[in-house]
Structure 1
Amino acid sequence: MALIPFVGGADTLSGSYLAGRQAAVHNDFEASARYYTAALARDPSNLNLMEDVIATQLGMGNVDRALPIAKLLEDQDVRSQSAHMTVIADLLANEAYGEYLERNVETLGVGPLVDGLLGAWAMIGDNRAEDGLAAFDKVGEERGLRGFAMYHKAMALGLLGDFAAAEDLFVEEAGPLQQTRRGAMARAEILSQLDRNEDAIASLEAAFGGSSDPELSGMLSALEAGDTLSFSHIKTARDGAAEVFYSVAGALRQDAGPEFTLIYARVARHLRRDHIDALLLVADLLDELDQYDLANAVYKEVPADDSAFHAAELGRVGVLRKSGDPDAAIEVLEQLAKRFGDLSIVHSTLGDVLRQQDQFEPAVAAYDRALDLTPEGVSGAWFLHYARAISLERLDEWPRAESDFRRALELNPGQPQVLNYLGYSLVEKQIKLDEALEMIEQAVAASPDSGFIVDSLGWVLYRLGRYEEAVQHMEKAVELMPIDPVVNDHLGDVYWSVGRTREAQFQWMRALSFVDPEDTDGEADPDRMRRKLEVGLDQVLEDEGAAPLKVVNDKG
């Protein structure tokens, strides 16, 4: 992202600071860290700049670069959560548990939950297992923190080899973390250690239903073969500390901004380099912050032999699409399809990208493969039928398309997108108009604030010759989507049909002003709009050989 040059340039204190601030506003961590660091070099005692440098370096995952400045802040008795987090991350990464436990969490801590959990793990790392387990209990006494505390205690018990006590906690304290993907897999490992593979299989099937992926399939295959799974989720107290930052990041994501959550995820990864879930979370947060190049680089850190490799590659596909490189996204997916040909999501994602690039024939083939790999009757398959139907409709294979649309509705009755697309298509083909109207009315009832769907209702009424009824719906569609060229063009046609010719011409001019000249594949037809402005809609319809507007008032 290009930065706007500042008066005085970025080689001055004010220029560096302002450039860093602007980069930070755009979540450009690399640039903001560079500029803030340059500003701090010119004003080394500026406490605010110190915090800015620490925050941006943590956002980049550079705990080691943030550490010297964090120590300076602590030496000056400055309370800074980011500084304290940096020093703590360094201590725990070096397994300096005794030194960490000597810190005063009241003045040098992160917060009650993090400090309490980290203290418990540090005690375990300092060979004080009994004290550590008691510390988890103490954290659990705080209101709203018991779920976190008991999850981490169960993990600690697994690390200590007390799998029976760990399983008891999973049964008795079925909190939200126990029900996460990591929690479910950790419990399966615990059950396997207790020689209860059948129970482990049942627990995984209950947690994941019919869904599967390479990691889950590998676990199930090993369990079914009678193998004993090792407890891999926490191997050291340092791993437990990493799990604290990861689980808190997951909770923060519900309420805090992604730039704040990112710091916790980065620290988790710093403490445990093989924490692939933390890596994927970091990449996902960078994607959310529109830092596509950084997200792509993080996704690429997942080793090709890791069970999460396909998930990372699918993440890369997402950021490549958003960054405007669909060809690269297609290439990644085609390689994935060769290696993970039995994963429906790979083929369905490939179909989506191809469809959005108007490559409808290969998109249909990709959806065919995805549906072949999807169990019959699975409700989630509705979107595959819907997406394939769109591709088939664009290929003028209407009977197959209609069949897919209707199958999507069988799997997901009342789905407004499907009702709208099928109804609109029937109207455009001038067939089954009564059914089409009923479908679109259902879609509007389900999604009354969708401009596209409300536009469809106005348009079907217009095509049915019910012009006066169409006006109010089309006007609402324009209110919902005021700068959409197609919707404004439709309103112009409706106004013309009821004799409001000047308002029609105004809407066509508005529609023209909203057409993106680079969008050559869009539905908007600027040449037709200009022709209507020149000669009116009646003449355009006659020139096109289309049916004329119905006469709704012939009394003069």
Structure 2
Amino acid sequence: MQYLNKKIYFILFVITFLIVNTSTFSKNNENMYSQKYISNYLSGIISLKNNNNAAAFKYLKEVKSLKKNHNNFNIEFIQTLILLGKFKDAFEFSNDVWSEDRLLFEADLLLGLKYLINQKHSQAIKHFKRLDKTNRYNLPIESFLSNALSAWTYAAEGNEKDSFAAFSKISDRYRNLKLIQKSFLQCYFDFPDTKSTFDELIGDKDYNFTRYNFFLANYLLSKEKKEEAKKVIIVARNENNTNLLLKQSENFILTKNEKKIKSFFNCKKTQDNIAEIFYIIATLYSSEKEYKLSNFYLKISLFLNNNFSTNKTLLAENLFYQKKYKESKKIYKSIKLIGPNYSWHASKSLAMILSEEQGEKYSPSDLEKEFKLLLNPNFQDYYELANFYKNRNYFEESIKYYSLALKNIEKGHSLISKILHKRGTSYERIDDWTNAEKDLKDSLKILPDDPHVLNYLAYSWIEKKININEALEMLKEANSLKKNDGYIIDSLGWAYFARSNYIEAEKYLQKAVELMPLDPVINDHYADTLWMLKKNMQARYLWNHVLNLERTEKKLKDDIKKKLIYGVIKNS
């Protein structure tokens, strides 16, 4: 539905251009009637749709005369300039198209920032106050930005009273954003209760403010309270093993490199505080898969505070999801310079991009070199490395790191059953059934209702022709727990096949094929069942179908070629 909406928007956008600008063309010189002119505009819009900003800029700059009459062109061109990092051009163009009687959110936003940077505060306020008059994206972030940016402009003037007055106008619908801004404003004006405000923010039970442990530690370091800052980071890391910024901050503190934490952000700098506002907005758009808008706000954030290099991680991720692998790789390579934790994260991400681009296998030895640079790896780090290996069929290496994850994880952790499941499947793939069965059973002792583990263990028993009755009951349970799962339904049908109940087997396997028509193994199971029911022509048709599927492995192809000659030999 989201794709269709975007497609409809694009079509309407082009139609609007053609209709609205008929009069525009008639009022300008004859060149505007030219095929080349229209071609440049449409090529620019298509390039934007395909996330090709450089090409969009190339075409759209040739039709800049549209700026006087075509607001949509102005919006797209300003966004394109920002996405390309051409801020000087964006400021100039915004100034050129701005007028008192016409609302253009992007132009007011950029001009307000330009005047703020140049310390022309009254002019900045004028532009920021206009932002809440537009609500084009149905996400009323404009209202928040209007008051928040006004508050920081007053702060830059040293006007504490008006700064907090503007802050108070921010609607309570932005409660989370207000809590963050309150902490930063108090830090900026050096309120004595700044730490307690940060503590209140971080301790909020309704929302995850884990990231702001970094800003509290940063504030404490600015006050030369190193031990308090260290305690904040260590406690936060113990409570949250996945936050990359906190992982790297812990490394900086343990290696006596606290100055790196201080270099990222300074709450006494107006631009640093505003940059965090735009970073938050960027994360919101990214979570909605609106990567273009996310990158727009993120580019502004990095322009205001380029020292906060860890924030480039979001840009690299967005570009990856946009399939702009070359740009994503370039950023990940720069991120590696931040420290060992970011280097490790970047190395994993670069390996993923290599797999997406060319299906290349990333050398385990190269990745392990990066991993060994981690100062204090925890179970989550071992688990991530194990998953990376497992997903690329390095099963023995994955077992090694799943084992280290289990060794370092705290007793009773919710992830234990999952790690046992994954290690068990790795054991099974290297034909170590004794350890595989033990891990899968141990996983079920912890989480007996996990449909995926029930399915894997039961299917493995069926393949080994053991515990068939118990396997059937387990698969019935898995099927009731997770409806319409093609793999589970296939296993259930295959269990009936193993018991020679071909009528029941056909019922489930037919449904599995409907759910997963391109899965070679499921189709083969269904064909075997049809053969046992004397439906030989249908069985042969399906076997031939499997031979033509891309994912069919050589061994299965060889088995099917024999079945096409001899059929299914019972108990074979």
When normalised by structure 1's length, the TM-score is 0.81
Q: In the alignment, which residue of structure 2 is the partner of 1:379? A: 414
Change (3 A) 1:199 1:499: same
Q: In the alignment, which residue of structure 2 is the partner of 1:482? A: 517
Q: In the alignment, which residue of structure 2 is the partner of 1:301? A: 334
Alpha-carbon deviation of 1:459? 1.5
Answering whether residue 157 of structure 2 is matched by residue 134 of structure 1, we say no
Alpha-carbon deviation of 1:272? 0.9
| Greater per-residue helix proportion | 2
Quick check: 1:420–1:440 contact (8 Å CA) kept in 2?
Answer: yes
Picking from 424, 438, 452, the partner of 1:389 is: 424
Inter-partner Cα distance in structure 2 for 1:73 and 1:249: 25
Of the structure 1 ranges 460-469 and 190-199, higher mean CA displacement relative to structure 2 is found in: 190-199
Q: In the alignment, which residue of structure 2 is the partner of 1:551? A: none
Answering whether residue 177 of structure 2 is matched by residue 148 of structure 1, we say yes
Of the structure 1 ranges 43-52 and 126-135, higher mean CA displacement relative to structure 2 is found in: 43-52
Inter-partner Cα distance in structure 1 for 2:362 and 2:451: 32
Q: Secondary structure at the match of 1:12?
A: helix
Q: In the alignment, which residue of structure 2 is the partner of 1:54? A: 78
Residues 354-369 of structure 1: matches in 2 within 5 Å? 354-369=389-404
Change (3 A) 1:337 1:195: closer
Picking from 78, 87, 104, the partner of 1:63 is: 87
* Amino acid across the alignment from 1:160: F
Q: Secondary structure at the match of 1:408?
A: helix
Structure 1, unmatched stretches of 5+, are: 1-10, 549-556
Change (3 A) 1:21 1:188: same
Alpha-carbon deviation of 1:188? 4.9
Residues 299-338 of structure 1: matches in 2 within 5 Å? 299-302=332-335, 304-306=337-339, 308-324=342-358, 326-328=360-362, 330=364, 333-338=367-372
Q: In the alignment, which residue of structure 2 is the partner of 1:5? A: none
Picking from 467, 478, 500, the partner of 1:465 is: 500
Q: In the alignment, which residue of structure 2 is the partner of 1:8? A: none
Q: Secondary structure at the match of 1:365?
A: helix
Q: Deviations over 1:501-553 (max 9, x none)?
A: 3332333333334x11xx57x48823433443x33533xx3xxxx616xxxxx
Quick check: 1:316–1:329 contact (8 Å CA) kept in 2?
Answer: no
Q: Deviations over 1:55-87 (max 9, x none)?
A: 233334443343333322214854333333333
Quick check: 1:276–1:308 contact (8 Å CA) kept in 2?
Answer: no
* Amino acid across the alignment from 2:319: L
Alpha-carbon deviation of 1:232? 4.8
Of the structure 1 ranges 471-480 and 205-214, higher mean CA displacement relative to structure 2 is found in: 205-214
Picking from 503, 510, 529, the partner of 1:494 is: 529
Inter-partner Cα distance in structure 1 for 2:531 and 2:477: 27
Q: In the alignment, which residue of structure 2 is the partner of 1:182? A: 211
Change (3 A) 1:367 1:429: same
Quick check: 1:287–1:295 contact (8 Å CA) kept in 2?
Answer: yes
Change (3 A) 1:263 1:413: farther
* Amino acid across the alignment from 1:483: L
Q: In the alignment, which residue of structure 1 is the partner of 2:460? A: 425
Q: Deviations over 1:127-166 (max 9, x none)?
A: 1122212221221xx2412331232011111122214155
Change (3 A) 1:107 1:366: closer
Inter-partner Cα distance in structure 1 for 2:500 and 2:112: 72
Q: In the alignment, which residue of structure 2 is the partner of 1:102? A: 126
Change (3 A) 1:230 1:303: closer
Q: Secondary structure at the match of 2:465?
A: coil
Answering whether residue 314 of structure 2 is matched by residue 281 of structure 1, we say yes
Q: In the alignment, which residue of structure 1 is the partner of 2:565? A: 535
Of the structure 1 ranges 332-341 and 166-175, higher mean CA displacement relative to structure 2 is found in: 166-175
Q: Secondary structure at the match of 2:158?
A: coil
Residues 112-261 of structure 1: matches in 2 within 5 Å? 112-139=143-170, 142-165=171-194, 167-168=196-197, 170-171=199-200, 179-188=208-217, 201=231, 205=235, 209=239, 211=241, 214-218=247-251, 232=265, 234-255=267-288, 257-261=290-294
Quick check: 1:167–1:191 contact (8 Å CA) kept in 2?
Answer: no
* Amino acid across the alignment from 2:440: F
* Amino acid across the alignment from 1:339: L
Identity fraction in percent: 23
Change (3 A) 1:81 1:458: farther
Inter-partner Cα distance in structure 2 for 1:375 and 1:183: 25
Inter-partner Cα distance in structure 2 for 1:97 and 1:499: 85
Quick check: 2:265–2:272 contact (8 Å CA) kept in 1?
Answer: no
Q: Secondary structure at the match of 1:21?
A: helix
Q: In the alignment, which residue of structure 1 is the partner of 2:543? A: 508
Change (3 A) 1:342 1:494: farther
Quick check: 2:241–2:380 contact (8 Å CA) kept in 1?
Answer: no
Q: Deviations over 1:310-353 (max 9, x none)?
A: 33444334433333454347465223122126424444444333
Change (3 A) 1:35 1:487: farther
Change (3 A) 1:379 1:95: farther
Inter-partner Cα distance in structure 2 for 1:338 and 1:204: 21
Q: Secondary structure at the match of 2:208?
A: coil
Alpha-carbon deviation of 1:265? 1.9
Task: Report 1 or 2 for greater relative contact order, CA contacts < 8 Å, sequence distance ≥ 6.
Answer: 1
Alpha-carbon deviation of 1:465? 1.6
Inter-partner Cα distance in structure 1 for 2:201 and 2:295: 32
Alpha-carbon deviation of 1:172? 7.8
Inter-partner Cα distance in structure 2 for 1:244 and 1:428: 56
Change (3 A) 1:338 1:35: farther
* Amino acid across the alignment from 1:319: I
* Amino acid across the alignment from 1:116: N
Of the structure 1 ranges 328-337 and 477-486, higher mean CA displacement relative to structure 2 is found in: 328-337
* Amino acid across the alignment from 2:45: R
Answering whether residue 302 of structure 2 is matched by residue 269 of structure 1, we say yes
Q: In the alignment, which residue of structure 2 is the partner of 1:339? A: 373
Of the structure 1 ranges 51-60 and 169-178, higher mean CA displacement relative to structure 2 is found in: 169-178
Q: In the alignment, which residue of structure 2 is the partner of 1:26? A: 50
Quick check: 1:330–1:350 contact (8 Å CA) kept in 2?
Answer: no
Change (3 A) 1:178 1:362: closer
Inter-partner Cα distance in structure 2 for 1:20 and 1:261: 20
